[in-house]
Amino acid sequence: MAELQRSVLLSLDEVLFRLLAVARDRVLPETEKVDTFDALGRVLARGVVSALDVPPADNSSMDGYVMRAADVPAAGTVLPVSQRLPAGVVGQPLQPGTAARLFTGAQVPAGADAVVMQEQCVALPDASGQGLGSVRVDAVPSAGQWIRRRGEDVQHGAEVLAAGMRLTPAAMGLAASVGASRLTVRRRPRVALFSTGDELVMPGESLKPGAIYNSNRFTLRGLLLAAGCEVTDLGIVPDRLDATREALRRAAVDNDLILTSGGVSVGEEDHIKPAVKAEGWLEAWQVAMKPGKPLVFGAVRRGDSDSEALFMGLPGNPVSSFVTFLLAVAPVLRALQGCTDAMPQAVQVRADFDWSTPDKRREFLRARFNAQGGVELFPNQSSGVLTSAVWADGLVDNPSGQVVRRGDTVRLLLLSSLIGA
Ligand code: AMP
Ligand code: MG
């Protein structure tokens, strides 16, 4: 027991290095084909290569008339209209000295080289009212104007989406634009989640004296779903060694990762570490970050087999578990899915706040953009104040001992890039 309670103090970078080394070694081997339609948030296991040019042919970006620029030497030139081309219709080659009526997206006929928007043209019906009439062109066109070129978006043979990319809505659209109806993606990580703590009750239950509502179960499950996981929720596990071991054994059977909150400190009621140690192996770390600090990483054996489920134990304080998930668990989940960009995006922003009492540990301060484009801090940065996590747009990544003065430039991790990204 004494041995378990000696935790190693590490920087977050060192922790990430160790976590990612293990996760990259255990990228989920299974891939599956899914409809592009249903691929949001999945990670591509195979890149998407285009078998066509997009757009497939030159087409008009305006409603108007298409012609040869050389046929309109001066504003006011009148040309007979030789054909009408709605989007989706392939016309005849353009007869020299004529114009074709066409609409946005319509293919530009061979021989034509300029579109004039309809606002700069006047349609002149012919006397009989039967034919297409003619058009007076009131602006001198330059060759190529208002024409979207074949292949200007995607060229035949180009890899439009690379393996390891997480599919955003725009990426799904791009895959569809090159005709890909199915995509090869990595299987979703299967994650079992449980909360420890005899003080916890569920919303809907009455709050007896000494109890608090279990918020981590909601936050962490939401984060896991947003990260593209299949979640098995095992609820609340009592603060007892046998119950914790039993929950771990059950969770290991069908899951790639077991995630818990609470019970990783050094109190007598903290059973996570001895339980994981008994059921597999662990490394208990004190991470030099605030909020956060205790983090348990390890694995739990699956029955008698050689295989094991990874284990990550987060601290119980709601903001600590939220931040530790974003900075340590999310990169592991991305790496398990073969994501090439496991690390969060950071931007440099102006501090519209003073921070004169920095911690010795690297801090992640809940911050939000103001209308002037700077960031402000939530007034209470305590690790129990979940309001700060809802209020924030991001986390100011403040180095150990760093005083911040109004107007300084600070590093901000955007929550939008951390969650689900
Ligand atoms: P622990 O890490 O178990 O020592 O818990 C640290 C603090 O977080 C305590 O104040 C707990 O009551 C609180 N806590 C632990 N688990 C949860 C949870 N699931 N939801 C809300 N608060 C929690
Ligand atoms: Mg506890």
The pLDDT confidence band at residue 267, using thresholds 50, 70 and 90, is: confident
314 alpha carbon, closest ligand: 1
If you measure from the C-alpha of residue 313 to the centroid of ligand 1, how many angstroms do you get, rounded to a whole number?
12
Is the CB of residue 315 below 6 angstroms from any atom belonging to ligand 1? yes
pLDDT at 419: 85
Per-residue pLDDT, averaged over 309-313, amounts to 98
1: pLDDT strictly greater than 50: no
The pLDDT confidence band at residue 265, using thresholds 50, 70 and 90, is: confident
How much of the chain exceeds pLDDT 90, in percent? 91
417: pLDDT strictly greater than 90: no
> Within 13 Å, how many C-alpha atoms sit on residue 328's CB side?
34
Q: 346-420 has which CATH code?
A: 2.40.340.10
The yes/no answer on whether domain 12-30+188-336 falls in CATH 3.40.980.10 is yes
Domain boundaries, the chain: 12-30+188-336, 33-54+152-186, 59-148, 346-420
pLDDT at 5: 52
User: Which CATH topology does 59-148 take?
Assistant: Molybdopterin biosynthesis moeA protein; domain 3 (2.170.190)
Is the CB of residue 98 below 6 angstroms from any atom belonging to ligand 1? no
Q: Give pLDDT tens digits for 70-82.
A: 999 999 999 999 9
pLDDT at 406: 98
Q: Which atom of ligand 1 is nearest to the CA of 320?
A: 8
The yes/no answer on whether domain 33-54+152-186 falls in CATH 3.90.105.10 is yes
If you measure from the C-alpha of residue 269 to the centroid of ligand 1, how many angstroms do you get, rounded to a whole number?
12
Per-residue pLDDT, averaged over 317-334, amounts to 96
Token readout for 363 is 């801090």
421: pLDDT strictly greater than 70: no
Are 191 and 232 in contact, with CB atoms under 8 Å apart?
yes
Ligand 1 pocket test: which of 7, 196, 200 has the largest number of ligand atoms within 8 Å of its C-beta?
A: 200
Ligand 1 pocket test: which of 196, 317, 325, 382 has the largest number of ligand atoms within 8 Å of its C-beta?
A: 317
> Residue 246 burial (CB < 10 Å; 0-12/13-18/19+)?
middle
More confidently predicted of 267 and 9: 9
pLDDT at 303: 85
304 alpha carbon, distance to own chain's centre: 37
Question: Torsion-angle region of residue 271: left (phi > 0), alpha (psi -120 to 50) or beta?
Answer: alpha
pLDDT at 6: 64
Per-residue pLDDT, averaged over 86-100, amounts to 96
Are 27 and 141 in contact, with CB atoms under 8 Å apart?
no
Q: Give pLDDT tens digits for 181-202.
A: 999 999 999 999 999 999 999 9
Cα angle at 137 between 136 and 141, to 5 degrees? 165
- Strand ranges in 86-229 using DSSP code E only, listed in sequence order: 99-102, 114-117, 121-124, 134-137, 147-148, 159-161, 182-186, 190-196, 200-201, 212-213
pLDDT at 126: 86
> Residue 80 burial (CB < 10 Å; 0-12/13-18/19+)?
middle
> How high does pLDDT run on average in the chain?
95
C-alpha–C-alpha distance, residues 408 and 243, integer Å: 50
The pLDDT confidence band at residue 23, using thresholds 50, 70 and 90, is: very high
pTM of structure: 0.90
Is the CB of residue 201 below 6 angstroms from any atom belonging to ligand 1? no
Amino acid in the structure at residue 247? A
Q: Which atom of ligand 1 is nearest to the CA of 261?
A: 16
Is the CB of residue 317 below 6 angstroms from any atom belonging to ligand 1? yes
C-alpha–C-alpha distance, residues 276 and 299, integer Å: 7
Q: Which residue has the tokens 């998407």?
A: 48
Q: Which atom of ligand 1 is nearest to the CA of 267?
A: 4
Q: Which residue has the tokens 């209470």?
A: 380
Per-residue pLDDT, averaged over 288-307, amounts to 93
If you measure from the C-alpha of residue 296 to the centroid of ligand 2, how many angstroms do you get, rounded to a whole number?
14
The pLDDT confidence band at residue 209, using thresholds 50, 70 and 90, is: very high
pLDDT at 129: 76
Per-residue pLDDT, averaged over 269-281, amounts to 94
215 alpha carbon, closest ligand: 1
Q: Which atom of ligand 1 is nearest to the CA of 196?
A: 16
Q: What share of the chain is helix, strand, coil (3-state, %, to 5)?
A: 25, 35, 45
pLDDT at 268: 80
Is the CB of residue 266 below 6 angstroms from any atom belonging to ligand 1? no
Q: Name the strand (E) or helix (H) holding 20.
A: helix 12-25
